[in-house]
C-alpha cells in the first residue's frame, strides 16, 4: 500500500474502494447533540464549598479579595450550609478564625472552638450535606505557622502531630464527617487515624491534603483566614511546585497511613497530578480550586475580560476531566445553580 501524500488532511484511509472524510463536527452541530455526547459532566453533589467562620452572632464580613465570599458567624454559617444543601451541593469545608491565638494553636482543639460550634449547629439541622473540618493550626497560632515552633524557629513536626491529632478528635466529636489535615507534617495522617480510632471515631474519614504545593495562588485565602505567617514562609513543609514525582510519593505515604480521600491543591496548576493520582490510586481524588484561581476569574470577569459563568464552568470541568470526583471551590453555589438551570 502506498501513502497518498496529496490526500487532504481531513480524509481517512481508504475503506474498500472509497475514501471517507472524517467529520467530527457532525456531533457538534447543535446544543442537543453536544449535550448528548458530552464526556465530562458536572453535578452539584461533587462540589464542596469552603466557609470561613469567625466569632460573634449575626455578622457577615465580606472578603475583599474574594468577591461574593464572606466570613460568617456560626449561626450564619449554619444558614449558608442549609442554602447550599438546598442547591444540592455535596459538602462544606470549615475554616475557623478564633477570637484568640497562642503559640501552639490551642483553640483548634477546643471543644467550644469556633469550628466546633459551627459543626454542632450544622449537624443539628440534619442536612443532606457532608461536613468537613480543615485540620490545621495556622489560623490558631499567633505566629501563623502550622504547628508549634522548635527552638530554631522551624515547625516542630512531631509536636504538631500531637496537636493535629487532638484537633481532629475534637472536630469529630463536634460532628465532622471528614477531617482534612492540611499542615503537610510528615506522618500526620497516621497520627490522626490512630487518635480517631482510639477515641471511638473509627467511622470518621480522612481527606488528606496529600499533594499541597507552596503556591502563589493562596494569597486571598490568607486574607480570608487571617493566617499569613508572621515570619518566613511555609516552603519548609509545603511542597516545592516543580516536584511532581515527590507529590505522588506523598500520596502513596498518605494511602499507606490510612487516608480515605486524596486531595491535590492547587487544582488547575496541578491537573497533571490529578490525572496521575486518578491513574495510580483507587481512592476518591479531590482537588481544591484555591482562592487565587477563583479570584483571577472574578477579577477578569469584573473587568469584562472573561465571561464569568463560562470561565468558571470550564475551569471546574477541566478539573473533573483530569480525574477529580470531588472539587472544592468557592463557586460551588453558583455552579450548582447553573447546573440546575441547564436541566
Which residues are designated catalytic?
A: 212, 265
| Longest distance between any two alpha carbons in the chain, whole Å | 81
- Specify the residue for cell string 440534619: 126
Strand-pair partners of 328: 48, 288
Alpha carbons 148 and 94: distance in angstroms, whole number: 22
- DSSP letter string, 225-260: HT---SSS-STTTSBPTT-SHHHHHHHHHHHHHT-S
Beta carbons within 10 angstroms of residue 55's beta carbon: 15
| Angstrom distances, CA of residue 79 to CA of 28, 29, 84, 130, 287 | 42, 43, 9, 15, 25
Q: Decide if 152 contacts 125 (C-beta within 8 A).
A: no
| Residue 54 main-chain phi, psi, to 5 deg | -125, 165
Alpha carbons 194 and 201: distance in angstroms, whole number: 10
Amino acid at each position: 500500500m502506498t501513502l497518498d501524500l496529496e490526500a487532504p488532511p481531513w480524509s481517512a484511509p481508504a475503506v474498500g474502494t472509497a475514501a471517507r472524510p472524517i467529520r467530527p463536527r457532525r456531533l457538534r452541530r447543535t446544543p442537543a447533540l453536544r449535550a448528548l455526547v458530552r464526556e465530562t459532566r458536572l453535578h452539584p453533589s461533587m462540589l464542596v464549598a469552603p466557609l470561613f467562620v469567625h466569632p460573634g452572632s449575626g455578622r457577615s464580613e465580606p472578603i475583599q479579595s474574594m468577591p461574593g465570599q464572606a466570613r460568617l458567624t456560626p449561626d450564619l454559617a449554619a444558614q449558608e450550609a442549609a442554602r447550599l444543601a438546598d442547591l444540592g451541593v455535596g459538602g462544606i469545608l470549615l475554616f475557623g478564625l478564633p477570637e484568640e491565638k497562642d503559640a501552639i494553636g490551642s483553640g483548634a482543639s477546643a471543644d467550644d472552638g469556633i469550628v466546633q460550634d459551627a459543626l454542632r449547629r450544622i449537624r443539628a439541622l440534619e442536612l443532606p450535606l457532608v461536613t468537613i473540618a480543615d485540620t490545621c493550626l495556622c489560623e490558631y497560632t499567633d505566629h501563623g505557622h502550622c504547628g508549634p515552633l522548635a527552638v530554631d524557629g522551624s515547625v516542630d513536626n512531631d509536636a504538631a502531630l500531637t496537636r493535629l491529632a487532638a484537633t481532629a478528635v475534637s472536630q469529630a466529636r463536634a460532628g465532622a464527617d471528614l477531617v482534612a489535615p492540611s499542615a503537610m507534617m510528615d506522618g500526620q495522617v497516621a497520627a490522626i487515624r490512630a487518635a480517631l480510632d482510639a477515641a471511638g471515631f473509627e467511622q470518621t474519614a480522612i481527606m488528606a491534603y496529600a499533594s499541597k504545593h507552596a503556591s502563589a495562588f493562596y494569597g486571598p485565602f490568607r486574607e480570608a483566614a487571617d493566617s499569613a505567617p508572621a515570619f518566613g514562609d511555609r516552603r519548609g513543609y509545603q511542597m516545592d511546585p516543580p516536584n511532581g514525582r515527590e507529590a505522588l510519593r506523598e500520596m502513596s505515604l498518605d494511602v499507606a497511613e490510612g487516608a480515605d480521600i486524596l486531595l491535590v491543591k492547587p487544582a488547575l496548576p496541578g491537573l497533571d497530578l490529578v490525572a496521575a493520582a486518578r491513574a495510580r490510586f483507587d481512592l476518591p481524588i479531590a482537588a481544591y480550586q484555591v482562592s487565587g484561581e477563583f479570584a483571577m476569574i472574578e477579577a477578569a470577569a469584573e473587568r469584562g475580560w472573561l465571561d464569568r459563568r463560562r470561565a468558571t464552568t470550564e475551569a471546574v470541568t477541566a478539573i473533573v476531566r483530569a480525574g477529580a470526583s470531588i472539587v472544592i471551590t468557592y463557586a460551588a453555589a453558583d455552579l450548582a445553580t447553573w447546573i440546575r438551570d441547564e436541566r
